[in-house]
């Protein structure tokens, strides 16, 4: 899962159970991400559900799981450790700029080489934050939208800010991801910022409703759209 500067973004699809995980993996998702869409932007699933997801796609797709949105630095490592113990590939957790370096490092030790920080568009994002996360031992960093109110990532952050974010991640050797109420139409636009992953849920669900089931046809179309970028880049 190392970053390739020449490659187009890969597809992250958030799933709520093992059935959706199998469908997403079979449709071509590069990263199957366990998340409870009813519980907000980063709602964590029960560890038993995550273990079932891990078992359902073993050796088929890379996996990740959301560890929630800890409200204080002290609870960050425990939240990460609980999800890391499921056997999931990567752990994603919300991180705030005011979390101290000791707590960030403790969280990274709870999932060595596997921890992805999720930052929310609109929240404070100091210039040194990505560097601090790299120094603490995080493996990657993503931007998402905190409130699922129809506004997409591009509505909240301008293109230069997104490009600067992914460039900063590359500079510090971190994987990068962009997510936040994305639609398939966003793929070509956001790919220009060279993230490692584009994250989807609602845009690939029936009726574009993130609380409903994934639509296999939409997942397949997202895969085809991303692969189309490979053909365009080769032309």
Domain ranges of the chain: 10-234
Contact status, residue 144 vs residue 122, Cβ threshold 8 Å: no
pLDDT tens track for 110-160: 999 999 999 999 888 999 999 999 999 999 999 999 877 778 898 889 999
148 catalytic? Reply is no
pLDDT tens track for 74-112: 999 999 999 999 999 999 999 999 999 999 999 999 999
Look up the CATH superfamily of 10-234: Copper homeostasis (CutC) domain (3.20.20.380)
How many residues would you count in the chain?
235
Give the CA count within 13 Å in the CB-facing half-sphere of 104: 24
Mean pLDDT in residue range 36-47: 92
The predicted pLDDT at position 147 comes to 79
- Catalytic: which of 8, 16, 35, 193? 35
- Write out the H or E segment, with its range, that includes residue 198: strand 197-200
- Catalytic: which of 10, 16, 51, 92? 92
Predicted structure pTM score: 0.92
User: Whose CA is closest to 193, among 133, 142, 145, 146?
Assistant: 142
């Amino acid at each position: 899962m190392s970053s390739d500067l020449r490659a187009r973004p890969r597809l992250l699809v958030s799933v709520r159970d093992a059935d959706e995980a199998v469908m997403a993996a079979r449709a071509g998702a590069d990263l199957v991400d366990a998340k409870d869409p009813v519980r907000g932007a980063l709602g964590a699933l029960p560890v038993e559900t995550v273990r079932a997801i891990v078992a359902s796609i073993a050796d088929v797709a890379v996996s990740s799981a959301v560890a929630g949105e800890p409200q204080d630095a002290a609870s960050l490592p425990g939240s990460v450790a609980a999800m890391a113990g499921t056997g999931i590939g990567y752990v994603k957790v919300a991180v705030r700029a005011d979390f101290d370096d000791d707590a960030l490092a403790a969280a990274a030790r709870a999932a060595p080489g596997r921890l992805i920080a999720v930052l929310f568009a609109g929240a404070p994002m100091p210039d040194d934050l990505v560097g601090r996360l790299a120094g603490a031992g995080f493996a990657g960093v993503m931007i998402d939208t905190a409130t699922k109110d129809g506004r997409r990532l591009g509505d909240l952050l301008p293109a230069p800010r997104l490009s600067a974010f992914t460039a900063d991640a590359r500079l510090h050797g971190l994987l990068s991801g962009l997510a936040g109420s994305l639609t398939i139409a966003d793929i070509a636009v956001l790919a220009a910022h060279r993230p490692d992953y584009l994250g989807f849920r609602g845009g690939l669900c029936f009726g574009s409703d993130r609380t409903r089931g994934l639509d296999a046809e939409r997942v397949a179309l997202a895969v085809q759209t991303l692969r189309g970028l490979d053909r365009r880049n080769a032309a």
